[in-house]
Amino acid sequence: MDGGDIRGAVHTNMRHDSAVKHVTGRAVYIDDMPEPPGTQHTALVLSPHAHARIVSIDKSAAETADGVSAVVTATDIPGVNDIAPVMSGEPLLADGIAQYAGMPVAAVSADTYDQAFAAASLVEVTYEELPPILSIEDAWEKEEFTYKPPKIVFGDAESAMKTSAHTVSGEVRCGGQDHFYLETHIAFAVPGEDRDITVYSSTQHPTEVQHGVSHVLGIAQNDVTIEVRRMGGGFGGKESQPTIIAGIAALLADRCGKPVKLRLRRDDDMIATGKRHDFLFKYEVGFDDTGRIESAVIDMAARSGNVADLSAGVVARALCHGNNAYFIPNALFRGWPCKTNTVSNTAFRGFGGPQGMIAIETAIEHIARDLGKSVDDVRAANYYGTDDRNVTPYGQPVTDNIMPEIVERLSREIDYEGRKKAIDDFNATHTTLKKGIALMPVKFGISFNAPMLNQAGALVHVYTDGSVHLNHGGTEMGQGLFTKVAQVVSSVFQIDIDHVKISATRTDKVPNTAPTAASAGSDLNGMAAFNAAEEIRVRMAGVAGDHFGVPADDIEFRQNRVYAGNESLSFAETAQMTWNQRVSLSATGYYRTPDISWDSETMTGSPFYYFTYGASVTEVVIDTLTGESRVLAADILQDVGASLNPAIDLGQIEGAFVQGMGWLTSEEMVWDPKGRLMTHGPSTYKIPGSRDVPPHFKVHILDDAPNRVPTIFRSKAVGEPPLMLAISVWLALRDAVSRTGDAKLM
């Protein structure tokens, strides 16, 4: 089934439904919503210490300050002080012990933000400082972990290492990353009757926020409704963290009986909420004369932070991507979720995948240097094959490998060999400036590692004027999910997309949802919405068939009309007729990803429904006197299956690449020796700006490549995979640095 001849069909360049509203400032974010009378504003009291016993809290001065409606600490929580998304024992407000500098200890609501802010400084907390664990190394050495360290074991890597002709070993680390979404965390809690509460939350996971609020307030899930129309960016930072914000807002609202808004200022957002995990890797690889890997032992130590949060998923994904696109016959990948007195790290685009790939790419480069071969030749020797070299270390067969093809096509189309030669020539004649070039292949597994998260629901209504109301469990964070799902529905009904109303995600419309994450938003919700719409379409076809006196199967939906041969009704007339016949025009849709399995004990199974593939080539230049660098050129070839919307996918690829480039170049988080984050605003934390985008930036979508498994219209996920293509920037910088001895001029 293709998209059809209507406005907004799948596979067409439909612009994001809110594009104009985004650029004209008319898109309504939570802070833009009209505030009901009595709305309260919130300020947080954050721990200044990385690790301290809370001896006492005196809130009397704050409580009597101007305009204050409530002051809450852990002891004011009527339910449980636990907002753990996966495990348990992760407090909303510090309970007895402050576990990181920036941990919320108390919160104040007042008539104005200024009053709340002033009152927060009157909350007197007495601390007794305790020795903190601040580094990955320290936690690793003391064996302080947030959960039982996992490992992937495939073959016998330690024995195989002994028989290899060559081995190399080394260490590499990668830093964390702040999400720097434009809209900081926000929640707006509005109390209703009988302790019911509605929370407008900037979240990728409304269901989890619902659960968190229900736990904290000690009320049932059906007392709590969460709504999110859109986020001003999430990037994984709003998968688990919004529960903290919504939980505090709800606690205050429940206490003072008024609507309460909690919007973090940028500094507090950066200090108090989680980021990408930084990692320390130790690797050893054994290989033959051609550079083909025979065994790999990789230790991946992640800064989990003070609690587990989503670390088990992140580390699992790092381990599952610790081989990237390469077949490794004997692998031992060990994860070490280090418990430190720093903010709990969390999901960030790629979810551990980018980190895992850094390790193996470093090892590949190391092998090439050891053998005096080109890195690209060593890569080629190690790609998955079609024969027996086609199973991942966690036991999933790789049946859709197109990596060699993609690398070959990209290399040919951009004349990679010629470019490498030009860079050699440049470096031979320049001493201060040095150029580097590198190719990065990316194979990324699509589906949540935890099979239970791979499900989705949708709700579709057709009204009697032929207009359609669409709702599903996915959330919109700028990635274009709502547009894509609306395209799916318009394609099913063959009506222009303008007739499909996109509506806010709500836990009372579609319940028990998974987070919009793992790049699976359109795969899951697109399919659920397809199923709902298809059910209604079949019913309408039945009614139209009766009307025209033909079998329902002979009814065709085309160009906003419903046909039986040459006779037709408009879609709206058919809707009205369906109602007249007392046939329901409303349906729920449900989808669960087939054929996936995962055993988190043994870390084995086939957790991914399919893989996406992409490759990039990047050229950089460094100034060897100042240390400055620029990315000069980036060329990308990315597989997105049969794209639901090539324009949106192009934007996703460009955005992800630049975001990954920021992670690996200008963005750096610095903590002082007491564990306090020093880089908590744009003056010290440098995300890429428009001028950092490579002047030559060419993104190609692999054409004619429908997904081999039946995903929604044979498309593939796109949200995260291209971020890892930016590892080519990092590799190119390493290449440039290694060329500092090249010139023969001096």
Q: Which residue, 239 or 742, has its beta carbon nearer to ligand MOS?
A: 239
| Residue 720 is among the residues annotated as catalytic for this protein | yes
Instruction: Name which of ligand MTE, ligand MOS, ligand HPA, none residue 70 binds, using a CB cut-off of 5 to 8 Å depending on partner kind.
Output: none
Rounded to an integer, what distance in angstroms lies between the CA atom of residue 644 and that of residue 654?
A: 17
Residues 311-350: x where in contact with ligand MOS by CB under 6 A, - otherwise, as a string? ------------------------------------xxx-
**How many chain residues bind ligand HPA (CB under 6 A)?**
13
Q: Does 450 bind ligand HPA (CB under 6 A)?
A: yes
Residue 239 or 284: which CB sits closer to ligand MOS?
Answer: 239
* b/e sequence 597-623, b meaning 16+ C-beta within 10 Å: ebeeeebbbbbbbbbbbbbbbbbbbbe
- C-alpha distances (whole Å) from 341 to each of 23, 305, 496, 655 are 40, 6, 53, 32
Residue closer to ligand MTE by CB (options 247, 719) is: 719
Of residues 287 and 351, the one with the C-beta less far from ligand MOS: 351
Question: Of 600 and 679, which CB lies nearer to ligand HPA in the complex structure?
Answer: 600
CB of 455 to ligand MOS, least distance (A): 16
- Burial class of residue 624 in the structure, from the number of CB atoms within 10 Å of its CB (0-12 exposed, 13-18 middle, 19+ buried): middle
- Cα separation of 65 and 56, whole Å? 20
Cα–Cα distance, 78 to 218 (Å, whole number): 6
**430-449 residues near ligand HPA, rule: CB under 6 A:** 448-449
For the beta sheet containing 500-502, the strands, ordered from the edge strand earlier in sequence to the opposite edge, are 500-502, 468-472, 455-462, 586-592
Binding-site partner at residue 68 among ligand HPA, ligand MOS, ligand MTE, none, CB < 5 to 8 Å by type: none
Tell me how crowded residue 327 is: count the other CB atoms within 10 A of its CB. Answer: 21
Under rule CB under 6 A, how many of the chain's residues touch ligand MOS?
Answer: 10
Q: Is 717 in the site for ligand HPA (CB under 6 A)?
A: no
CB of 601 to ligand MOS, least distance (A): 23
Contact yes or no for 237/274 (Cβ under 8 A): yes
Of 308-316, 514-522, 604-612, 677-685: span binding ligand MTE (CB under 6 A):
514-522
Cβ at position 314, least distance to ligand MOS in Å: 9
| Of residues 685-724, those binding ligand MTE (CB under 6 A) | 719-720
Residue selected from 8, 91, 233, 356 as contacting ligand MTE according to rule CB under 6 A: 233
Cβ proximity to ligand HPA: between 376 and 476 the closer is 476
Q: Contact with ligand MTE (CB under 6 A): which of 273, 396, 522, 707?
A: 522
CB nearer to ligand MTE: give 205 or 349.
349
Give, for 662, the enclosing helix (H) or strand (E): helix 646-664
- What is the Cα–Cα distance from 714 to 537, expressed in whole angstroms? 21
Residue with tokens 């290989």: 287
Number of DSSP helices (H) and strands (E) in the chain, helices first: 18, 27
140, 145, 200, 235: which one binds ligand MTE (CB under 6 A): 235
Q: Are 157 and 297 within 8 A, CB to CB?
A: yes
Kindly state the smallest distance separating residue 515's Cβ from ligand MTE, in Å. 8
- How far is CA 79 from each of CA 58, 140, 241, 402, 557, rounded to the nearest angstrom? 22, 34, 19, 52, 52
Is residue 47 a contact residue for ligand MTE (CB under 6 A)? Answer: no
- Identify the DSSP state of 263: E
CA atoms within 13 Å, Cβ hemisphere of 656 = 28
Q: How far is the CB of 518 from ligand MOS (least distance, A)?
A: 5
List contacts with ligand MTE (CB under 6 A). 233-236, 349, 477-479, 481, 516-522, 652, 655, 719-720
Q: What residues are labeled active site?
A: 720
List contacts with ligand MOS (CB under 6 A). 204, 236, 239, 347-349, 351, 517-518, 720
